[in-house]
Chain A
Amino acid sequence: MIGSPDVVAFTKEDEYGQANPDPWALPEEFSVPLHPLADSNPWAKTSYAKFTKDFILISEFSEQVGPQPLLTIPEDPKVCGTFDLNYFSLRIMSVDYQASFVGHPPGTGYPRLSFVEDSRVVLGDSKEGAFAYVHHLTLYDLEARGFVRPFCMAYVAADERKIMLQFQELSLRFSQASECLKAGNRRAFAKELRRKLQDLEYTHSVLQREEGLQREAGPQCMYSAHAVEKANELANVEKSIYEHRDLLRQISCYHRRPRRDPHAVTCQKCMTECLSECEELLDKYVKLANPFGYSKNEEEGQGQLDDEGGDEEADEEDDEGVKRKPSYTPQLIKAKSAKCFDKRLKTLQELCDETFYKATLELLKETERSFRGDLCYLHTCRLDKALRRKQRVANFLFEEDLGDDEDEVETLRPFCAVNHAIDGYILLNPPPIVLGPEPLELDVLEPPDPLDPASETSHTQESELGLGESHLESSPSDQTLETQESSEETKGSFSSDKSGVGQSEKQQSLTSMKSEAPDPDSDLTPDPDQNTDLERESSSEEMETTAGDDEGDSGGDQTPVSLLEVVSELQASKEDECGGGNDSDLLVPIDTACCMAQEGFLYEASAPDAMPCLLQSSHPQPSPTLVVNQEPQALLPLQDDYTVGSPCSESPATGLELPVGHLGDAVSRTSVEDGSDCTMSVSTGSDRAASPLGYGRVVTLCQRKKAGQGALRFVRQYPFAMQALWCLLSGRTLVVLGADEGRVRRLVAALALFVPAPGKCGERVQAWLSCPFTLTDLQRWKLVGLQRVASPVGSSMLYSLSRYSRYISILDADQKTLRCPPYRGQLLANIADHRTYVRRGSTYFLHIQSTLCHLAAKAFLFTFTHHLHLPVSSTEGPEVVEGRRRCFLQEQLGLGEEDSHILLYLSQLITQQYLQPAAGSSAAAPCFSFDYTTSVLYKI
């Protein structure tokens, strides 16, 4: 809680305010309201939203019924309240972002799967007071029109700014969820295809046999209507088989495609699994199965031949079919497919492999959890975390542990949610919050190839070109409601020459894929040989066409007119909607102070850090290929995305300008413009910023806050609280002695706030002990609640107390006395003033936190200041150093003798903690320091 106390006002209601009514507080009717509107807090404007808190909505554009909501997270219907999900789904799905072409593209014989990148949009509905980050994606479905089903996941909130400022992280998280979902969907799709192929081949064999029988029956009947029909049917089935086989091939090529989405890096293991599965299938169905392979099923098949619903059944058997693969019975496929509106569409769950589906939901739930609270709260938390991350060395002292569990789980997420992270998998590097733009090193982007000087230039050029190109392409896909994207995406399908290239390339890559063993790194780390060359070629090729276009709407000359119209229409409409969308003042109504804070939200693209670990997997890669294939845009920090329009945008956009060496200004300008586009929110009600109240964070924090109440009570109640706190902070074990367990436990819980380095689970605190303690206990615990008993056990306990009295301070909860060394310092007067005006536990908690944090920072400084511990020159004796240390403590930090003890103890803890990894493994016993001072008895 470094940042919280004095930076931003805390708008969250105290959960314990109701539970523990402050006895000193004035009754409601006598209290003076802080501001006229007593029912709302001054920082939050009234929300018009009909829902109470943010939620995630998943909708689909059904080809039968149109946009419909599928599910919300959390699933509690109360969340949405009276909010009309159907209407909102219509709103967010009506953005036909893909405009993807379906069916047979000209020039190819087979239907093509469209590989569509996700798009990310911020939409708003001012009337409803709802704003949403909308993440569109498509899933494959064999029965769907064009084999695709459009879906979207939306994060719906009442606060537009919250979404705008959290865009990066929302985008990252939703991308992960989307990748997960799509990976599962591809698996399910491949399985479905396999079943379909089985069916088709079975049908084929049956038809062949029938035809053969007919042929045998009489050659004169050869040209009868029936025979012709049969032959047609057979031809249809064969065609269908080829089509499906091609689809299977396409889906297995999925991973070979260069991804433009910087977030779309998926789990390699999943990829590999999926890939090998697909290859297996592909191998299996590359030839027509033995026509008589299913002869033994003939009877059954004949029986089902007329069954219209056979098709459906096969689908419904989905899951069972997967599980008992050998016992799967192929179905006969009727030539005519069912009518569009007759068939039942698969649900989202059916579309996706089960484990992946669950993982996706988990991811989304996690996302929802992590975005709870209003912007101010999130902001503070994030600042807090960022600061704490900078203070890792000293965090263990007073901050709750976030380094390993909480933090990493929240923002660091494995790419694959399906537990592949366990076996040493590469985790996604967290998008670290940058507090200022960091310049990128060019060397990282363009490492020269020392082995091949001849190819160096070309490689570099290519890489740069690729860089520029993909940046150009992907930046719209990233952040904007952008229709270029779709045109980009599909232009390959429209222009015959391009698709030809793509085809041949894919063929080649297919063959190369086949020739090699499936490379586990195939997705991210391309093979060093031909594959990379292929990709590089292709990318440069695409690049040429793109570079030819001067503005972002590339492929305009290649795109058929109809689509172009759509594009421009959409763009126009978008601009209409935005109104003065580019007017940054309207859009990002934040002041400079906020902007500085805003930088806290910016993320460096994680790639530069992540790259080495991604690459180290098997063989070292030549760097140019890295640049080309590693989704170059991922290398660039998208720092400007949010600072556009705000004063901070004047800061050099290093990340965006760097890679455009050879391409010239056009591209960079375009990308910058794209970048500015992306911040536009498609909403008209941007002047409203309502924030629902956030709900609680982690339980431990709640507990600590509750303890803050107890600590406040302790401080007010006991005049010697300062001495007690000093004991704890200077490392002297405090024993709370009492007969009443509840009372002792409460006291211990309150005082535990002051125990430095209490351990992850409070190992240094023992709340209740009812047996005599030993020296080892003293070493282990810094705060002990001890039961006072009037039995022989009690006397031995008292004996141990008096025996070790030099090491401990004793707080007698019953008689209200404290036996400890005298403390006369000033340092703790601030937090242990029994006449304090602080009335609230949580306020006091923050107060404590800030003081302790201050102390920890001082201790850190003290610990790591070289000349305070070691002689500067060889002539200096230890006395000089000692004197310097004392001078530092007394004069520079202004600490007295006893206050110095606190700092020395904290410093010692920091030192031990810092040295621990080296010596910790040897399991040496911990040290226990003390000093010999007299104690005095304090009474109330």
Chain B
Amino acid sequence: MLRWILGGREAQSSVEKSPVLCIGEEQPKNWFTELQVLKGHFDIVRFLVQIDDFRCASAGDDGLVLVWNVETGERLQELRGHSQQITAITTFTCSSEVTSHTSLITASSDRSLSLWDPDTGTRVQTISDLQSSVKCLLVLERLCLWVSGGEELCVWNRDFQLQCHRQHKQSDTGITALIELPKNSIGAAVDKEIVIYRLTVSDSSVSVAEIRCLSDHQDQIRALINVNDELFASGSHAGELILWDAIEWNILAYEHILWEESQASTQNAIRLGASKPSEMSIQHLTTNGKLILAAVGSGLYVYNVQTKAVVAYRKVAHDSNVLHTMLLSDSELMSCSEDGSVRIWEIQDLPLPAEPASAGFFGMWNFSRTNKQSGPPSKKVMDIPNIRMLELTGDLIGHSGAVQMFVSFKENGLVTCSTDHLLILWKNGERQSHLRSLALFRKLEEKGGL
């Protein structure tokens, strides 16, 4: 088990010159040079899901689900029906026929679940007066089933018929996250534990059974993701990142991401617990199969799955908590934060490995679980050759509130949603101008002249 503490005074002075990062106005690598503000929500917009190549749906505390055309910025549909905030939204693709059709499943605090057709804007199915509100949704496309998690775990079929359900009594928080695991298993994060359920699908009936409970986390589990077929990862409020074997459910790696303020360790612990509890909380995990990107407090950590080692990190990546992250490629990533900005990062090699500045780069490197500060182990870090740095290459400033989430449409742009009730569509200005030119000449041809 590897545990490391990052930070330290010297590190801060050398690499992260100031806690507030400022990239300046010149951003040659930032190609988002055009934006469109999409209005329509009346409250915080919390969720964005991609429906297909050009559509996305947004949902938020106003109970509205809006479907947008990302290419034009048009609002295509307005799905009204929920009376309270949306707690979970997911796409449900039915590919049993030749053509697959994507629907939307939403869960709301009004204890209802709905299935929507984003093409027509109609509510296809709805289930109301559930016992409790659903907090997370998981679609098992292979089985044509979907699972809702809240205080109880319910398994539904495509036609919104309840197949089976299982009450979860141990905790009052209920299930906060769900992942699909091999062998018809489901992993559910319930407070500090990960519960493994197994689905048994017979001819006409589906049953679910709890087969394992993994309780290695010290604090509430905040994030639970599939990394690849063999691995899944979880992150806790206390900054623990655990890599699990997806079949055997063993711990493959355990990271405790901490850092230390410049003050004495004992005081520090208290302060961390009291005033900034979330600073080391893993808010979000994302992966591309090879790397895991963890949003820890206002920092970012990139972890390599194969080498089971940190690749790059930045302790203060944002002015405030990072809420959502994404790996754009093996070297590019993006994060959004409560400070209202979206930042684009690049994992770069250190300028010069022998540079004295890098000496204090990784201040603390500890393998003991309790010791927080010890000098010599930090030298070991230097031996790891492939540690690189996260370089800010651009930031998108537009929202006046916390940016809750974003969805990337590759070259078509990026959609961000925020507590300021807005969505912003960020685009490549040059590409858009080229597309407009194309449209102009097409129209010119249609009209046969000016």
Query: Residues of A at under 8 Å CB distance from B?
Result: 392-393, 774-776, 779, 800, 803-806, 863-864, 866, 869-870, 878, 904, 908, 911-912, 914-915, 918-919, 922-935
Partner of B398, one of A775, A919, A924: A775
Among B405-439, those with CB < 8 Å from A are 422, 424-425, 427, 429, 432-434, 436-439
Q: How far is the CA of A911 from the CA of B25 in the complex (A)?
A: 28
- Give the nearest-CB partner of A918 in chain B: B443
**Can you list 26 contacts pairing A with B, beta carbon distance less than 8 Å?**
A775-B400, A776-B422, A863-B440, A864-B444, A869-B437, A870-B438, A911-B436, A911-B437, A912-B436, A915-B436, A924-B72, A925-B36, A925-B37, A926-B36, A927-B34, A927-B73, A928-B34, A928-B35, A928-B37, A929-B429, A930-B34, A930-B35, A931-B33, A932-B30, A933-B25, A935-B25
Known: A932-B30, A933-B25. 6 other contacts (CB 8 A): A392-B450, A779-B35, A803-B397, A870-B437, A911-B436, A927-B36
- Please indicate the chain B residues that have their CB under 8 angstroms from the CB of A779 in the complex: 35, 37
- Please indicate the chain A residues that have their CB under 8 angstroms from the CB of B424 in the complex: 775
CB atoms of A930 and B33 under 8 A apart: yes
Query: Residues of B at under 8 Å CB distance from A?
Result: 24-28, 30, 33-39, 72-75, 394, 397-400, 422, 424-425, 427, 429, 432-434, 436-441, 443-444, 450
CB atoms of B37 and A878 under 8 A apart: no
Q: How far, in Å, is A898 (CB) from chain B's closest CB?
A: 15
Partner of A878, one of B75, B399, B434: B434
Given contacts A870-B438, A914-B440, A915-B443, is CB(A929)–CB(B34) below 8 Å?
yes
Partner of A929, one of B25, B30, B33, B437: B33
Q: How far is the CA of A870 from the CA of B72 in the complex (A)?
A: 21
Q: How far, in Å, is A887 (CB) from chain B's closest CB?
A: 17
Given contacts A806-B397, A931-B33, is CB(A925)–CB(B38) below 8 Å?
yes
Q: How far, in Å, is B436 (CB) from chain A's closest CB?
A: 5
Partner of B74, one of A805, A869, A914, A924: A924
Q: How far is the CA of A918 from the CA of B439 in the complex (A)?
A: 10
Q: How far is the CA of A935 from the CA of B37 in the complex (A)?
A: 24
CB atoms of A915 and B441 under 8 A apart: no
Given contacts A775-B398, A864-B450, is CB(A932)–CB(B438) below 8 Å?
no
CB atoms of B436 and A775 under 8 A apart: no
Given contacts A803-B397, A932-B30, A933-B26, is CB(A775)–CB(B37) below 8 Å?
yes
CB atoms of A932 and B27 under 8 A apart: yes
Question: Which 6 A-B pairs rank lowest in CB-CB distance, beginning with the nearest?
Answer: A869-B437, A932-B27, A924-B73, A929-B34, A934-B25, A924-B74
- Please indicate the chain B residues that have their CB under 8 angstroms from the CB of A915 in the complex: 436, 439-440, 443
- Please indicate the chain B residues that have their CB under 8 angstroms from the CB of A866 in the complex: 441
Q: How far, in Å, is A62 (CB) from chain B's closest CB?
A: 55
Q: How far, in Å, is A621 (CB) from chain B's closest CB?
A: 27
Interface contact tally, CB-CB below 8 A? 103
- Give the nearest-CB partner of B26 in chain A: A934
Q: How far, in Å, is A804 (CB) from chain B's closest CB?
A: 7
- Please indicate the chain B residues that have their CB under 8 angstroms from the CB of A933 in the complex: 25-26
CB atoms of A923 and B74 under 8 A apart: yes
Q: How far is the CA of A923 from the CA of B429 in the complex (A)?
A: 20
CB atoms of A870 and B441 under 8 A apart: yes
CB atoms of B450 and A932 under 8 A apart: no
- Please indicate the chain B residues that have their CB under 8 angstroms from the CB of A919 in the complex: 72
Partner of B429, one of A392, A803, A911, A931: A931
- Please indicate the chain B residues that have their CB under 8 angstroms from the CB of A930 in the complex: 33-35, 429
- Please indicate the chain A residues that have their CB under 8 angstroms from the CB of B438 in the complex: 869-870
Partner of B25, one of A775, A806, A925: A806
- Please indicate the chain B residues that have their CB under 8 angstroms from the CB of A776 in the complex: 37, 39, 422
Q: How far is the CA of A800 from the CA of B39 in the complex (A)?
A: 20
- Please indicate the chain B residues that have their CB under 8 angstroms from the CB of A878 in the complex: 434
- Please indicate the chain B residues that have their CB under 8 angstroms from the CB of A806 in the complex: 25, 397
CB atoms of A932 and B28 under 8 A apart: yes
CB atoms of B434 and A914 under 8 A apart: no
Q: How far is the CA of A776 from the CA of B26 in the complex (A)?
A: 23
- Give the nearest-CB partner of B76 in chain A: A922
Given contacts A931-B33, A932-B28, is CB(A908)–CB(B433) below 8 Å?
yes
Q: How far, in Å, is B428 (CB) from chain A's closest CB?
A: 10
CB atoms of B35 and A927 under 8 A apart: yes
CB atoms of B27 and A927 under 8 A apart: no
- Please indicate the chain B residues that have their CB under 8 angstroms from the CB of A904 in the complex: 433
Of B26, B30, B38, B422, the most chain A CB neighbours within 10 A belong to B26
- Please indicate the chain B residues that have their CB under 8 angstroms from the CB of A926 in the complex: 36
